[in-house]
Structure 1
Amino acid sequence: MHYRIINWNIERHGPGSWQAASLTGDIAVLKPDLVCLTEAWKQTLSQLDGYSVSAPGAAWSAQDPDERKVLLWSRRSWENVEVAHELDSLGGCLTGLTTIGPDKVRIVGLCIPYQFASPLGQVSKAKQWEMHERFLCKLEPLLSKWSTERPMIVLGDFNRRMPRSWGPKKSYELLERVFERLNIVTTGSLDNVDDRTVDHVAVSSQFNPSQVMGIPAESADGRKRSDHFGVMVDCLYTGFQTRHF
């Protein structure tokens, strides 16, 4: 069964902005089955036929009550939606179950803190990469548990290019260890944009990627819609035939 995934950080552009209208219009044309938007608003995908869930996440700067660190949209309905509060207080983490074919699949949307992230109002700012590493340490046991239960997709803003080209080796090795049970299919330079991304898609063994490509940050008329380009992944899902969980 073919399954299309889109992942994009939309740089906090509100639902009434031309940037959000342009990129969500492109998303609709691509007819995804699953979308993860980070640094979005709860209304951003309201025009798509499907089901949205979202989590506010941590505030690193002043933000509108409708802003969301993670927004997940699925063509099929959601069940057992949970905010991982131990992670949502540092960055953003939302998980829930949706269906692919006859199977319930776990989806995990993440916004891992960037290197300078620090809680809004904290007088003594967090050290560089401190929040990033704390988030990963708390994520590790959750992914380890979830990966044994059912097929899984983890996606969002990881705030690290892969393979590593800059930043602490320690935190990069931690990222690799946390995701060692999954295949991060967005590693390396992506077709259509010829660049590496910080917005990744990681899948369990039941998903075989057939196409991984970037979606340009620029609109058709050349205007920049976000400081991130989008990511699209097409997979063949075989979970209903081979179960490894």
Structure 2
Amino acid sequence: MDNNELTVATWNTMWATGSGPRATRVRNCLRDVNADLLVVTEGRRDLLPDGGYVVDAGTNWGYDVTSTPHRRKTMLWSRWPLTDVVALTSRAGAGRVVTAQTVSSIGPIRILAVCIPWASAHVSTGRCDAKTWSEHLECCDQIEELATQFDPRIPTVVAGDFNQRVPRVRQPVRVADRLTGLMARWTIHTRGVVDHGPLIDHVASDLECTSVRTWPGSDEVGRLSDHSGVVCSLRAATVG
């Protein structure tokens, strides 16, 4: 492991259960990535690597989870202890956004873990009170408001399910523009042409990215997820 670099991975695991062959294969993928920071969306804690420190965004994302209490929309696993944990608890970001700090191999880091709602969230399921893209846009507004409170002296890593391809593919222009505005303070390292892309799971930061590696949503046995996963190597940005 290079102590001058930080590895950050993210993957939507499509609600893999805690047992069974798919869960075992998903768990092995997450372990083999060997990330320092790992954001798992639509997952469970028992999929995460052994050891480390975990926080999540809670269970209140507007859908009944009574029969599936171990599910989490957004989880953050860290090799190092996590402090200053804040999770959104209201409106579209509830249960989907959590932020924390850690002292990493490259110094203090803030991690913003997200699962931004997809286009049809709460339109015909869940609360059934939303319009297409309305939950997504409201969550973007909440993330932007949260980010204004971050200490600019501490680098930020944003990772998770953005539910948009970058640059825009089919989403409405206004939706793509909103994400662009939200992410203007950071660089999306996973944008554009990558293996197994274009991605909707992304890593962004105000650090320098030295490599991007992806893995597909299936293996030689069959389907693992409806998303590709991605891991980035980051280091402190050079000045000058």
Equivalent residues of 1:87, 1:139 under 8 A apart: no
Q: Secondary structure at the match of 2:211?
A: strand
What is aligned with 2:107? 103
What is aligned with 2:189? 185
| Counterpart AA for 2:229 | G
- In 2, the alpha carbon distance for the partners of 1:203 and 1:171 equals 21
What is aligned with 2:52? 50
What is aligned with 2:96? 92
- In 1, the alpha carbon distance for the partners of 2:93 and 2:188 equals 25
What is aligned with 1:217? 217
Q: Secondary structure at the match of 1:212?
A: strand
What is aligned with 2:30? 27
Equivalent residues of 1:36, 1:70 under 8 A apart: yes
Equivalent residues of 2:157, 2:203 under 8 A apart: yes
- In 1, the alpha carbon distance for the partners of 2:136 and 2:106 equals 36
- In 2, the alpha carbon distance for the partners of 1:20 and 1:87 equals 31
Matched, 1:36 2:39: yes
Could you tell me which runs of 5 or more consecutive residues in structure 2 were left unpaired when the two chains were aligned: none
- In 1, the alpha carbon distance for the partners of 2:92 and 2:169 equals 27
* 1:128-167 matched pairs, under 5 angstroms: 128-146=132-150, 148-167=152-171
TM-score, structure 2 normalization: 0.89
- In 1, the alpha carbon distance for the partners of 2:236 and 2:93 equals 33
Match of 1:73 among 77, 96, 102: 77
- In 2, the alpha carbon distance for the partners of 1:21 and 1:84 equals 31
TM-score, structure 1 normalization: 0.87
Equivalent residues of 2:5, 2:106 under 8 A apart: no
What is aligned with 1:237? 236
Report the Cα offset of residue 86 of structure 1.
3.4
- In 1, the alpha carbon distance for the partners of 2:25 and 2:151 equals 35
- In 2, the alpha carbon distance for the partners of 1:105 and 1:75 equals 12
- Sort the Cα spacing of 1:58 and 1:48 in 2 relative to 1 into closer, same or farther, 3 A: same
Report the Cα offset of residue 147 of structure 1.
5.7
- Sort the Cα spacing of 1:92 and 1:57 in 2 relative to 1 into closer, same or farther, 3 A: farther
Report the Cα offset of residue 61 of structure 1.
4.1
Query: What RMSD in Å do the two structures reach over aligned CA positions?
Result: 2.2
- Sort the Cα spacing of 1:88 and 1:14 in 2 relative to 1 into closer, same or farther, 3 A: farther
Matched, 1:18 2:21: yes
What percent identity do the matched residue pairs reach? Answer: 27
- Sort the Cα spacing of 1:228 and 1:60 in 2 relative to 1 into closer, same or farther, 3 A: farther
What is aligned with 1:203? 205
Equivalent residues of 1:57, 1:88 under 8 A apart: no
Report the Cα offset of residue 52 of structure 1.
1.3
Q: Secondary structure at the match of 1:137?
A: helix
